Structure 1
Amino acid sequence: MPQSLSKLYVHIIFHTKYNQPMILPEVEKDLYAYIGGIIKENQSIPIKIGGVKDHLHILAAMSKNISLAKFVEEIKRNSSRWIKTKGSEYKNFAWQGGYAGFSVSPSVLDRVVRYIENQKIHHQKQSFQSEYLQFLEEHQIDFDEDFLWK
Structure 2
Amino acid sequence: MPQSLANLYVHLIFSTKERLPFLSPEVRPDLHAYLATVLTNLNSPAVLINSVEDHVHILFNMSRTVTLAQVVEEVKKSSSKWIKTQGPNLATFAWQAGYGGFSVSESNVPKVANYIRNQEEHHRVKTFQEEYREFLEKHKVPYDERYVWD
TM-score, with normalisation over the residues of structure 1? 0.98
Q: Once superposed, which parts of structure 1, at least 4 consecutive aligned residues long, lie more than 2 Å away?
A: none
Where structure 1 has 5 or more consecutive residues not aligned to the other structure, the ranges are: none
Pairwise CA distance, 1:26 = 1.2
Alignment pair present for 1:4 and 2:4: yes
Identity of paired residues, percent? 49
Alignment pair present for 1:119 and 2:119: yes
Question: For residue 41 of structure 1, what is the aligned residue in structure 2?
Answer: 41
Q: Distance in 2 between matches of 1:45 and 1:86?
A: 24
Question: For residue 56 of structure 2, what is the aligned residue in structure 1?
Answer: 56
Q: Distance in 2 between matches of 1:26 and 1:146?
A: 33
Deviations 1:113-145 (A, max 9, x none): 110010001100111110000000111111111
Where structure 2 has 5 or more consecutive residues not aligned to the other structure, the ranges are: none
Question: For residue 135 of structure 2, what is the aligned residue in structure 1?
Answer: 135
Pairwise CA distance, 1:148 = 1.6
SS at match of 2:26: helix
Q: Distance in 1 between matches of 2:24 and 2:63?
A: 30
Q: Report the AA paired with residue 14 of structure 1.
A: F
- Aligned residue runs from structure 1 range 67-146, under 5 A: 67-146=67-146
Deviates more, 1:4-13 or 1:138-147: 138-147
Q: Distance in 2 between matches of 1:139 and 1:120?
A: 22
Q: Distance in 2 between matches of 1:51 and 1:103?
A: 19
Q: How many residues align?
A: 150
Q: Distance in 2 between matches of 1:124 and 1:116?
A: 14
Q: Report the AA paired with residue 89 of structure 1.
A: N
Q: Distance in 2 between matches of 1:32 and 1:51?
A: 8
SS at match of 1:25: coil
Pairwise CA distance, 1:69 = 0.5
Deviations 1:32-65 (A, max 9, x none): 0000000000011110000200000000000001
